[in-house]
Structure 1
Amino acid sequence: MDKLVYPREKTLGTLTLVLGIIVWILLIVGTLGVALIYVLFGFIGYLFAQSALIAWLRGTGVKLSEDQLPQLYAQYLGCCEKLGIKEPPEAYLLQGDGMMNAFATRFLGREFVIVLSDTVDAMNDLPDGVNFYFGHELGHIKQGHLTGHIWRAPVLWLPLIGAAYSRAKEYTCDMHGRACCSTSEVAARAMAVLAAGSDKWRLVNLVNYARQTMSNRGFFADLHELISGYPWLTKRVARILNPEIKMPGRNPFSYIFAFFIPYAGRLGGGAAGLGILMVMVAAIGVLAATAIPAYNEYKTRADLTNYWTQSAAARAALGEYYISKEEVPDTLEDAGISASQSAGFEYDSSRMSLSVDTKLGTFNIVPSEDEGKVLWHCYGDGGKIDKALPKLCKADEE
Structure 2
Amino acid sequence: MDLVYKNEKPLLGIAVVFSAIIWLALIVGTLGGLLLYLILGYVFFLFAHSAFISHLKGSGVRISPDQYPDLYDRLVRCCERVGVNEVPEAYLLRTDFFNALATKFLGRHFVVLFTDVVDALDDQPGAIDFYIGHELGHIHRKHLSWQTFVMPASLLPVVGPALRRAEEYTCDRYGVACCQSEADIKAALAAIAAGDTRWSTINVDAYIAQVQATNGFWMSFNELTGDYPWLTKRMATAVALAQGQEITHPRRSFWAWTLSCFIPRLGVGAGGAASLLITIALIGVLAAVAIPAYQQYVERARFSTAYSAALEVQGRVEAYAQEHQAWPVSMIDLGYPESTLKNAVGDYSIDVYESGLIGVEVGTDKSGESEYIVLEPSVDQGNISWTCYGQNVEEKLLPADCR
Q: Same fold (TM over 0.5)?
A: yes
The residue type equivalent to 2:33 in the other structure is V
Aligned residue for 2:161? 163
In the comparison of the two structures, how many residue pairs are matched?
A: 265
Q: How big is each residue's C-alpha offset from its partner over 1:234-290, in whole Å with a ceiling of 9 and x where there is no partner? A: 0000000113010100100001111111100169xxxxxxxxxxxxxxxxxxxxxxx
Question: Contact 2:103 / 2:109 at 8 angstroms: preserved in 1?
Answer: yes
**2:181 and 2:20 mapped to 1: Cα distance?**
40
1:245 aligns with 2:244: no
**1:183 and 1:247 mapped to 2: Cα distance?**
23
Aligned residue for 1:204? 202
**1:110 and 1:208 mapped to 2: Cα distance?**
41
1:227 aligns with 2:225: yes
**2:183 and 2:29 mapped to 1: Cα distance?**
53
1:134-153 matches, within 5 Å, as: 134-153=132-151
1:55 aligns with 2:54: yes
Return the offset for 1:129: 0.4
**1:255 and 1:31 mapped to 2: Cα distance?**
36
**1:116 and 1:241 mapped to 2: Cα distance?**
24
Return the offset for 1:185: 3.1
**1:217 and 1:191 mapped to 2: Cα distance?**
21
Aligned residue for 2:266? 264
Question: Contact 2:93 / 2:113 at 8 angstroms: preserved in 1?
Answer: yes
SS at the partner of 1:138?
helix
SS at the partner of 2:267?
coil
Aligned residue for 2:64? 65
Return the offset for 1:29: 0.4
Question: Contact 1:225 / 1:231 at 8 angstroms: preserved in 2?
Answer: yes
Question: Contact 2:214 / 2:252 at 8 angstroms: preserved in 1?
Answer: no
1:78-157 matches, within 5 Å, as: 78-97=77-96, 99-157=97-155
Q: How big is each residue's C-alpha offset from its partner over 1:330-381, in whole Å with a ceiling of 9 and x where there is no partner? A: xxxxxxxxxxxxxxxxxxxxxxxxxxxxxxxxxxxxxxxxxxxxxxxxxxxx
Q: How big is each residue's C-alpha offset from its partner over 1:30-67, in whole Å with a ceiling of 9 and x where there is no partner? A: 11111112111111111111111111110010001111
Return the offset for 1:186: 1.4
Question: Contact 1:184 / 1:241 at 8 angstroms: preserved in 2?
Answer: yes
SS at the partner of 1:216?
helix
Aligned residue for 1:185? 183
Question: Contact 2:217 / 2:255 at 8 angstroms: preserved in 1?
Answer: yes
**2:138 and 2:83 mapped to 1: Cα distance?**
14
1:19 aligns with 2:18: yes
Alpha carbons of 1:266 and 1:22: their partners in 2 closer, same or farther (altered >3 Å)? farther
Q: Which runs of 4+ in 1 moved over 3 A?
A: none
Question: Contact 2:95 / 2:115 at 8 angstroms: preserved in 1?
Answer: yes
Unmatched tracts of structure 2, length 5 or more: 270-403
Aligned residue for 2:213? 215
Unmatched tracts of structure 1, length 5 or more: 268-398
The residue type equivalent to 2:129 in the other structure is N
Q: Look at both structures and tell me which one has the larger radius of gyration over its CA atoms.
A: 2
The residue type equivalent to 1:56 in the other structure is H
Please report the RMSD computed on the Cα atoms of aligned residues, expressed in angstroms: 1.2
Return the offset for 1:151: 1.2
Question: Contact 1:185 / 1:241 at 8 angstroms: preserved in 2?
Answer: no
TM-score normalized by the length of structure 1: 0.65
Return the offset for 1:137: 0.3
The residue type equivalent to 2:42 in the other structure is F
**2:182 and 2:34 mapped to 1: Cα distance?**
47
Return the offset for 1:96: 2.1
**Which is worse superposed, 167-176 or 207-216?**
207-216
Aligned residue for 1:28? 27
Return the offset for 1:92: 0.4
Return the offset for 1:217: 2.6
**1:62 and 1:241 mapped to 2: Cα distance?**
32
**2:70 and 2:268 mapped to 1: Cα distance?**
33
Return the offset for 1:189: 1.9
Return the offset for 1:208: 1.5
Alpha carbons of 1:50 and 1:41: their partners in 2 closer, same or farther (altered >3 Å)? same
Q: How big is each residue's C-alpha offset from its partner over 1:131-178, in whole Å with a ceiling of 9 and x where there is no partner? A: 000000000000000001111011110000000000000000000001
**2:236 and 2:163 mapped to 1: Cα distance?**
19
Alpha carbons of 1:140 and 1:266: their partners in 2 closer, same or farther (altered >3 Å)? farther
**2:86 and 2:35 mapped to 1: Cα distance?**
33
